[in-house]
Amino acid sequence: MKFENLNVIEPILRALKDEGYECPSPIQEQAIPSVLDGRDLLGCAQTGTGKTAAFAVPIIQTIYGQKNKESRRHIQSLILTPTRELAVQIEESFRSYGRYTNLKYLAIYGGVSQNPQTQSLRRGVDVLIATPGRLMDLINQRQVNLQNVKMFALDEADRMLDMGFIHDVKKIISYIPQERQTLFFSATMPKEISELVNTILVNPVKVAVTPVSSTVDIIDQYVYFVDKNNKKKLLVDLLKNKDISSALVFTRTKHDADKVVKDLLTYKVKAMAIHGDKSQSARQQALNYFKNGEIRVLVATDIAARGIDINELSHVINYNLPNMPETYVHRIGRTGRAGLGGTAVSFCEYEEKPFLRDIQKLIKKSIKVVEEHPYPMLITTVDPKAEKPQRKQRIERFETEFVKSKKNTSKSSSYRGTANKPSSKKAYI
């Protein structure tokens, strides 16, 4: 199957060729003809499946086809997406796929000054990509008029719900003409989302690609059982492996993300963090440095990393295991994109073992355990507060003993030396 067979017009075909896309991905193959036919769409797909082009290509083509009839630029298509990074990325995709169409695309999102955005809006925009908060602000200031929107796309609806945007989303939808085409994307379908689907979609074409649990098949996955206080050392140790050309490290909290970056910098590993407390420009800068290889490690929280598109990311490292198994799939989906293989490494401390069980249940396979590594798990009880001093002592005792035993082994055959041998390469994925 080729894009030509999907009735995509020449200026877009040329742009897709420039991008190096040879064949449509399954979601594109299914979605593009239906959207070009004017049908509403319900897409059950996550990032990494090519869903951006699945909605961007037919939107560009439809608006381009109608463009000559319009004298002035009005917002004819609105794309709502939950995060700033996604908004920027979707805008880039529209600009790429639509580079020969002379349409105007604009992303608006919070965390940056409003002025450049309102100035661009005044100059005229055909496709507006927005996060809900900033869009609501600009609607309230009468800087945005949605009266001419004919095509509306809601991206990552389930994430909108998780992030508490659903009320804003509903409000924004009420400002768009009812006579429109709606494209709706969500990786999962919680009750509130399926209710929204029923109210805003009319007889939609349903497109589902690669259910969440099977997208991970091309990714090599490993788990290291390790105590919390040794994760830092283990990470530094793993990063000695030059095969890890780029690693996206996930932490549970913003504080952890900053801490991991600090630790890595002390070991001269170039790293930066992205999370909700960082300004938009700091996040974008970190992402750019990471994409062009100036830093090797990007440390992120789940919300900040959601949907980030990094070509050829070699490794995802779960510094903490997520408590929601679907989050694990989203995280590791950042590697292994567009059919490329990738490696996902997880650090599992004793208290995270139940999370690991849930993940394995969801992905229907067991993750390979790396037995041979310098910081094996020693703590095998949950940590009730009363036990804390005892636990601390135990850790200290084990640490001392471990250092001692390492010294002893290094006299005969150094652990690191052994680990570098091909036979134990697996310990250093």
* Residue (43 or 121) nearer to ligand AMP, CB: 43
Torsion angles phi and psi, residue 132, rounded to 5: -60, -40
Q: How far is the CB of 209 from ligand AMP (least distance, A)?
A: 10
If the CB atoms of residues 89 and 320 are measured against ligand AMP, the closer one turns out to be 89
Considering the complex, what minimum distance in angstroms separates the CB of residue 30 from ligand AMP? 13
What's the closest the beta carbon of residue 288 comes to ligand AMP, in angstroms?
16
Q: Which residue has the tokens 């004793």?
A: 350
The amino acid sitting at 18 is D
Nearest-angstrom CA–CA distance, 405 and 420: 19
Pick 16 or 78: Cβ nearer ligand AMP: 16
Look at strands 181-185 and 41-44 and give their pairing.
parallel
Nearest-CA neighbor of 347 among 380, 303, 309, 317? 317
Q: Which is nearer to ligand AMP, 2 or 421 (CB)?
A: 2
With contact defined as beta carbons under 8 Å apart, do 322 and 331 qualify?
A: yes
Select from 20, 106, 90 the least CA-distant residue to 57.
90
Furthest-apart CA atoms within the chain: distance in Å: 81
Taking the complex as a whole, the smallest distance from the CB of residue 48 to ligand AMP amounts, in Å, to: 5
| Closest CB 133 distance from ligand AMP, rounded Å | 22
- Count CB-CB contacts under 10 A for residue 151: 22
> Measured from the CB of residue 420, what is the shortest distance to ligand AMP in angstroms?
34
- We find the least distance from the C-beta atom of residue 5 to ligand AMP, in angstroms, to be 13
Beta-strand pair 41-44/205-208: parallel
Q: Which is nearer to ligand AMP, 132 or 336 (CB)?
A: 336
Asked whether 44 and 30 are in contact (CB, 8 A), the reply is: no
Q: 18 or 351: whose CB is closer to ligand AMP? A: 18
Q: Among residues 47 and 181, whose Cβ is nearest to ligand AMP?
A: 47
Q: Taking the complex as a whole, how short is the minimal distance between the CB of residue 27 and ligand AMP, in angstroms?
A: 8
What is the spatial distance between Cα 290 and Cα 44, in angstroms, rounded to a whole number?
A: 29
Q: DSSP labels for 320-348?
A: S--SSHHHHHHHHTTSSGGG--EEEEEEE
Least separation in angstroms between residue 313's CB and ligand AMP is: 10
Residue 124 to residues 38, 65, 73, 76, 326: CA-CA distances in angstroms? 25, 18, 5, 11, 40
- Where on the chain is the footprint of ligand AMP (CB under 6 A)? 21, 24-25, 28, 47-53, 309, 311, 337-338
Phi-psi region of 364 (alpha: psi -120 to 50; beta: other; left: phi over 0): left
Nearer to ligand AMP by Cβ, of 54 and 345: the residue is 54
- Do 347 and 318 contact (CB within 8 A), yes or no? yes
Nearest to 296, CA basis, from 335, 249, 230, 237 = 249
Nearer to ligand AMP, 22 or 179 (CB): 22
